[in-house]
Chains A and B, each alone.
Chain A
Amino acid sequence: MSNYDFDIIVVGSGMSGGWAAKEFSEKGFKTLVLDRGKPLEHGDYPTESMPPWEMPNRGRVNSDEVERDYYMVKRCYAFSEYTKPYFINDRENPYEFPEDKPFEWIRSARVGGKSQLWHRQSYRWGEQDFEANARDGHGCDWPIRYDDVKPWYDYVERFAGISGGYENMPQLPDSVFQKPHEMTQLEKDARVRIEAAYPGRRVIMGRTAHLTEPTEEQLDLGRGQCQSRNECQRGCSWGGFFSSLAATLPAARRTGNMTLKPNAIVHSVLHDESTGKATGVRVIDTETKEASIITARVIFMCASTIATTQVLMNSRSAKYPNGIGNTSGVLGHYLMDHVMGPGAMARFTGYEGFYYKGRRPTGIYVPRFMNISEPTDRYLRGFGYQGGSWRNGWTDEGRRQGLGGDFKDAFSKPGDWWFGLSGFGEMLPARENHIALDFNRLDGNGMPIIQISCDVGENSRRMGKDMVDKAVEMLKAAGGQDIQFSGDLDAPGLAIHEVGTARMGRDPKDSYLNGFNQSHEVANLFVTDGAAFASIACQNPSLTFMALTARAADYAATQIQAGVL
Chain B
Amino acid sequence: MGMELDRRRLLMGLSALMGGMLSPVAVKALDTATDIPADAGFRSFDENEVALMRAVIDTMLPATETPSATGVGVDLYIDHMLAAVLSAEEGAAVKRSLKRIDAAIPGFVDKTAAEQQALLSVIDGQMWQETPEAEEYRAFKSLAIVGYFTSEIGATVALAFDPVPGPFHNGTTREFSRTWAS
Binding site for B on A (CB under 8 A): 49, 51-53, 56-64, 67, 181-182, 184-185, 212, 225-229, 352-360, 391, 393-394, 397-398, 401-405, 407-409, 411-415
Contact = CB atoms under 8 A, between A and B. Distances in A.
Interface stretch (B3-11, B45-53, B168-176): B168-176
A229 B163 contact: yes
B159 A357 contact: no
A405 B64 contact: yes
Given A53-B152, A353-B174, A359-B165, 6 more contacts: A51-B25, A63-B90, A225-B167, A355-B176, A358-B168, A393-B159
Given A405-B62, A409-B64, A398 B141 contact: yes
B55 interface: no
B17 interface: no
B62 A404 contact: yes
B168 A228 contact: yes
B167 A397 contact: no
B179 A394 contact: yes
A228 B25 CA distance: 18
Closest 5 CB pairs of A and B: A358-B168, A358-B165, A52-B150, A397-B145, A63-B87
A419 B139 CA distance: 26
Contacts of A227: 164-167
B120 A358 contact: no
A411 B64 CA distance: 12
B170 A414 contact: no
Interface residues of B, number: 60
Given A355-B173, A408-B62, A412-B178, A403 B121 contact: yes
B145 A411 contact: yes
Interface in B130-168: 138-139, 141-142, 145-152, 155, 158-159, 161-168
A412 B178 CA distance: 5
A448 to B, nearest CB: 33
Nearest to A60: B85
Contacts of B85: 57, 60-63
Main secondary structure of the interface of A (DSSP, over half): loop
Interface of B: 25, 35, 59-62, 64-66, 77, 80-81, 84-87, 90, 117, 120-121, 124-125, 128, 138-139, 141-142, 145-152, 155, 158-159, 161-182
Nearest to B174: A353
Contacts of A49: 163
B168 A360 contact: yes
Nearest to B73: A53
Nearest to A56: B84
A407 B60 CA distance: 8
26 contacts: A49-B163, A51-B163, A52-B155, A58-B146, A181-B168, A212-B167, A225-B167, A227-B166, A228-B165, A353-B174, A356-B171, A358-B165, A358-B167, A358-B168, A360-B168, A393-B179, A393-B182, A394-B149, A397-B142, A397-B146, A402-B121, A403-B59, A405-B62, A409-B158, A411-B158, A414-B179
A413 B163 contact: no
A556 to B, nearest CB: 40
Contacts of A52: 150, 155, 181-182
B114 to A, nearest CB: 10
Given A67-B87, A182-B170, A412-B178, A403 B60 contact: yes
A53 B28 CA distance: 12
Given A57-B84, A404-B60, A404-B62, A355 B146 contact: no
A354 B170 contact: yes
Contacts of B161: 51
A51 B81 CA distance: 18
Instruction: Output the residue of A228, A352, A408 with the most chain B CB within 10 A.
Output: A408
A229 B180 CA distance: 12
Contact of B124 (A185, A352, A398, A402): A402
B48 to A, nearest CB: 22
Nearest to A52: B150
A409 B168 CA distance: 26
B166 A352 contact: no
Contacts of A357: 162, 165-166, 168-169, 171, 175-176
A53 B87 contact: no
A51 B155 contact: yes
B117 A229 contact: no
A154 B153 CA distance: 47
B130 to A, nearest CB: 13
Contact of A228 (B60, B151, B167): B167
A408 B170 contact: no
B176 A403 contact: no
B148 to A, nearest CB: 8
A404 B144 CA distance: 13
